[in-house]
Structure 1
Amino acid sequence: MGTAASPAVEPVVGEPAAVADLETERALLVADVHAGVEVGLRYERGVELDSRADARRERLVGLLAETDADRLVVLGDLAHRIGAPDGDEREELETLVRAVTDRVPMTLVEGNHDAGVAEAFADDLDVIDPAGGLLGAESADGRGGTVGVVHGHTWPDPALLDADVVCMGHEHPQVRLEDAVGGSRVERAWLRGPVDPTAFVGDPGPDAAAVEDPPELVIFPAFNERSGGTWVNVEGQSFLAPFLPDTLPAGDAYLLDGTRLGDYRRV
């Protein structure tokens, strides 16, 4: 674990996206784009929804410009349907990938929905293994640090414990909020807190137990508002990642507008 100050992973206010300053470039990070979700819902549930493909693409490209990013990093589930994309879904993905890569390089951390996408777009994307990887970073004071990236559907590579910050998707965290008159609404949320190293990897061994300065874990809200999620503050709600909630024993929830809600389990 390095002694440098942690590199900043800063959410973009009002958006399910964050930026990180890596060694030689500024990265925009998003998770769970789920391109083609409308196609998937049609096949999976017989639900007919108007496509928001154009709006999703324009929003993503707009964020690249707004944040002056040099790279897009997708923390898994770029696509919605599992398997090789075809038809309307492939057309949406081709248009999206082209719109991004005409501007900046694109890195995909392979999610549980992405095996077919990673193969189909191998020439267009830098692909990181599902167990995750490390991206070099430089903190604000010029000292080095690292950002770990992983999707979250499998046990992470223990090497991610060497990161200062670990960013993940997969969970689509949401909070259910109630008002004074009994009404409720569900909003996407960020979860942030220190990692419990012994719960983070499947077979921790003595190295994990010896980690004195564990990384911060940042769980991203889903970029796609139609992809559902985990209600993290509802009793009995199960998590999707095999290492949650144990690996985040003391995490806080934040709304997209930056409002800190406190301990995510007690919101």
Structure 2
Amino acid sequence: MPAVEPLPGEPAAIADVGSERALVVADVHCGIERALRYERGVELESNADVRRERLLSLLDRTGAERLVVLGDLGHRIGDPKGDEFDELETLVDAVTDRVPFTLAKGNHDGGIAEMFGDRIEVTPADGARFGDVGVLHGHTWPSEDVLAADVVCIGHEHPAVKLTDSVGGSRVERAWLRGRLDRDTFAERLDVDAAELDWHDPELVVFPAFNGRSGGTWINVEGQGFLSPFLPAGLVDGEAYLLDGTRLGDYRRV
């Protein structure tokens, strides 16, 4: 079985992280409705209960022994407050009653380690490696240790594809992006000879956002651009997949 296996129809995967089987998701963005209300004037009823129950259901369904969130557990850049704090606290309590919880720190997770660090494990911004799997949010360059993994998992991008039919209609769907990492790009960043890197030709897996309200990068639309500092230069190649497993091929030609 692959070290990282997406769950059909879900923005989530099962991964072998060391000796444990983990449920892995990215970009939960707890409290996003409050931000949409105050920043954009968009009134949406909170989906906090739906998000939590969906995560708990996936934990139960898969028999996962750990939850790993690839960054942006919360939405607010600074310390979580109000509705967001309440959602985070309820979610953290519910998850840790079942399994250990690891958060790969994202750019929206500023105060989470201080508020919930006694209950969840928070990795450094440049990631951590668990056995053959490296995890990080993706807003920073990965550490050399993460690059020594067989698979590197990130979030941050919220990858999506814009699909257009023969009569000009279009829709946007969340997607997975998978491809091999480029050794020379990371060696140059680390200022080392490429031959010195502990390199296992790792695959990059870019996770779709768990929160469907958080927008995304249309990876097949020219001019959209990537958010991660090592994309697209750090990819040798990349293929897009829909949540149902449909392989779309080279993400640049979808």
2:172 corresponds in structure 1 to 186
Identity rate of aligned residues, in percent? 68
CA distance in structure 1 between the partners assigned to 2:49 and 2:188 by the alignment: 39
CA distance in structure 1 between the partners assigned to 2:47 and 2:16 by the alignment: 30
CA distance in structure 2 between the partners assigned to 1:48 and 1:64 by the alignment: 30
Q: CA deviation at 1:207?
A: 3.9
| Contact 1:7–1:147, Cα closer than 8 Å, also in 2 | no
Match of 2:4 among 6, 9, 32: 9
Equivalent residue of 2:192, what SS?
helix
1:42 corresponds in structure 2 to 37
Aligned positions of 1:110-259 closer than 5 A:
110-136=105-131, 146-200=132-186, 203-208=189-194, 213-259=200-246
Deviations 1:6-57 (A, max 9, x none): 9520000000000012332210000000010001111211211111110000
| Contact 2:149–2:200, Cα closer than 8 Å, also in 1 | no
CA distance in structure 1 between the partners assigned to 2:151 and 2:178 by the alignment: 10
| Contact 2:16–2:133, Cα closer than 8 Å, also in 1 | no
The change in CA–CA distance for 1:201 and 1:243 in structure 2 (over 3 A counts) is: farther
CA distance in structure 1 between the partners assigned to 2:121 and 2:127 by the alignment: 13
CA distance in structure 1 between the partners assigned to 2:37 and 2:31 by the alignment: 10
Q: CA deviation at 1:64?
A: 0.2
| Contact 1:28–1:72, Cα closer than 8 Å, also in 2 | yes
| Contact 1:73–1:106, Cα closer than 8 Å, also in 2 | yes
Extract unaligned runs of 5+ from structure 2. Answer: none
2:86 corresponds in structure 1 to 91
More deviation, 205-214/116-125? 205-214
Equivalent residue of 2:68, what SS?
strand
> Is 2:47 the partner of 1:60?
no
* Number of residue pairs matched by the alignment: 253
> Is 2:20 the partner of 1:33?
no
Q: Amino acid of the residue matched to residue 154 of structure 1?
A: T
